Amino acid sequence: MKLGLVTYNLAKDWSLEKIIDLCSRAGFEAVELRTTHAHGVEPTISADERRRVRELFESSPVKLLSFGTVCEYHSPERSEVERNIELTKAFVKLAYDTGAIGVKVRPNRLMEDYGIPREKTIRQIGKALKVCGDYGKEYGVEIWLEVHGYGTSDPKCIGDIMEIADHPYVGVCWNSNYTDIVDGSISYGFNLLRKWIKSVHIHELYDEKYPYKELFTLLKGAGYQRYCLAEIPESPEPERIMRYYKALWSEMIRNI
């Protein structure tokens, strides 16, 4: 396992150059670029800009791992679902052009409060992911469904969606939510999703309410050899915070 950074929120106002510089100095090996942030790497950028982004990362020790989008497929409006599918495809092409391997998407909610059965929304999201997975396969880019949202942050719900998507290019982004915890452990939800986990978001490692040591042990046991991406608040001393975070991370995974 290796440590990386999500630009939400610590690095939301940084340029690509600053992201690479601080990650390099603090020992963060990869980055997920969140949409709408100051780095400006969006599907609207030109071919020359995409080439510049790729070359910038490839000439550095930091990997451009993925794009963190807000694409979602739960809406009862078919036109809105289609719009999000097309936006996902645009991010897939951006990932291909810039050298990233994944596009993170999310479910944001179930629609039972609006009279739409849980099963219908789950099936709709799963089918949309299958379409996105087919497109991702063409470019060698994976789609990662974040464990996120009202009702949809339940690992069982994510597992149901993944069973419907049933696609080798569609995986899960474990998000380290409190809703993972059952009787003090995350093992139940983790084991439901372990075969699909392609990316991991982690938050404040000092937070004793979330069993990070157990998470890292479970990841190691599952043979996970990708990145755990720190999604932490901004700070007036970012490099100092990142160095402390890396030190704590290294200690927590020691001897696992």
* 232 closest CA partner among 209, 207, 199, 254: 207
Domain at 2-253, CATH class: alpha beta
pLDDT score for 232: 97
Where helices occur in the chain by DSSP H, the ranges are: 16-26, 47-58, 78-98, 118-139, 155-165, 187-193, 212-221, 238-253
Q: Which pLDDT score, from 0 to 100, does residue 113 have? A: 78
Helix/strand/coil for 230? strand
- Ranges of the chain whose pLDDT falls below 70: none
pTM, rounded to two decimals: 0.96
pLDDT score of 205: 98
pLDDT value of position 160: 97
What pLDDT is attached to residue 58?
98
Q: Tell me the per-residue pLDDT of 186-238, one tens digit each, with 9 for 90 and over.
A: 999 999 999 999 999 999 999 999 999 999 999 999 999 999 999 999 999 99
Which pLDDT score is estimated for 112? 83
Q: What is the DSSP annotation of 160-214? A: HHHHHH--TTEEEEE---GGG-BTTB-HHHHHHHGGGEEEEEE--TT-TTS-HHH
